[in-house]
């Protein structure tokens, strides 16, 4: 069964450093998302991506964040200068052609720890 | 502001019983309401979707109801099993440019053998 994959599973970085979180969505899906979950809190929407551009972003997704789909298979989230409060699980999700179903498939997540 | 409320207290039930979880929302008019399961340290897994014009949806041992007047959804697991123990997340979606999911904080279910 096709699945969303994410790498790395765990990333530890120093405050102020840049990190890139990688995702491979399900092939033939067209809609891509990043969500984050701070430990013990709810899953929060960060950004949605369709047709090679951002379709919506949340207030959390400030100038320090960017997304790319560089090669038609990978979907990346970059944080330019990490802050302590960026420590969280980051989930990538994708959904298919059927907008009427809107079922989203989530990856296993990347745990980001900022020291 | 938009608010989605799920019972923050864990639900602890005996195997074989029916688990009923509640999702209430305010200041929102979703087109869809979805339920996901999340195990510790894992990503959410889709379970069921119900549309605003639907009252009830079933899938195997799962049943979801959606009352747009009460702004409430109920999620039922019948004949519960210890393997059903997890956190269950309610998520709302509007028909817009992104179809993003707005999640509740989830309810933890523990099914005792």
pLDDT higher than 80, residue B95: no
Residues in B touching A23 (Cβ below 8 Å) = none
- Across the interface, do B34 and A103 touch by the CB < 8 Å criterion? yes
Q: How far apart are the first and last CA of chain A?
A: 37
Residues in B touching A105 (Cβ below 8 Å) = 46
Write down the number of H helices and E strands in chain B: 0, 11
Instruction: Give the count of domains, chain B.
Output: 1
The domain limits of chain A are 18-94
Strands B86-93 and B32-38, how do they pair?
antiparallel
- CB contact burial A47-86 (16+ within 10 A = b; e otherwise): bbbbeeeebbbbebbeeebebebeeeeebebebeebeeeb
Measured CA to CA in angstroms, residue A10 lies from A7, A46, A74, B41 at distances of 8, 19, 18, 11
Mutation pick from B90, B98, B105 vs chain A, by most beta carbons of A within 10 Å, is B98
Per-residue pLDDT of chain A (115 residues; tens, 9 = 90+): 789 999 999 999 999 999 999 999 998 898 999 999 999 999 999 999 998 899 999 999 999 999 999 887 899 999 999 999 999 999 999 998 665 667 899 999 999 999 9
- What is the span of the domain harbouring residue B49? 3-112
Query: Which CATH superfamily, name and number, covers A18-94?
Result: Immunoglobulins (2.60.40.10)
Give the mean model confidence (pLDDT) for residues B13-23: 96
CATH number where B14 lies: 2.60.40.10
- Across the interface, do B46 and A35 touch by the CB < 8 Å criterion? no
């Amino acid at each position: 069964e096709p699945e969303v994959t994410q790498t790395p599973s765990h990333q530890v970085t120093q405050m102020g450093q840049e990190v890139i979180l990688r995702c491979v969505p399900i092939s033939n899906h067209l809609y891509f998302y990043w969500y984050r979950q701070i430990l013990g809190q709810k899953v929060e929407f960060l950004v949605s991506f369709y047709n090679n551009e951002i379709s919506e972003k949340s207030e959390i997704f400030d100038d320090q964040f960017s997304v790319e789909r560089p090669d038609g298979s990978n979907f990346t989230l970059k944080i330019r200068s990490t802050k302590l409060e960026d420590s969280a699980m980051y989930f990538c999700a994708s959904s298919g052609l059927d907008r009427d179903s809107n079922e989203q498939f989530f990856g296993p997540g990347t745990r980001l720890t900022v020291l | 502001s938009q608010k989605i409320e799920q019972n923050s207290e864990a639900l602890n039930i005996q195997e074989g019983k029916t688990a009923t979880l509640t999702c209430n929302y305010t200041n929102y008019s979703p087109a869809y309401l979805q339920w996901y399961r999340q195990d510790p340290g894992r990503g959410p897994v889709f379970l069921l979707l119900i549309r605003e014009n639907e009252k009830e949806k079933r899938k195997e041992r799962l049943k979801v109801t959606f009352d747009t007047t009460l702004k409430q959804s109920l999620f039922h697991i019948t004949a519960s099993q210890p393997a059903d123990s997890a956190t269950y997340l309610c998520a709302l979606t509007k028909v817009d440019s992104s179809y993003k999911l707005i999640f509740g904080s989830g309810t933890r279910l523990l099914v005792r053998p």
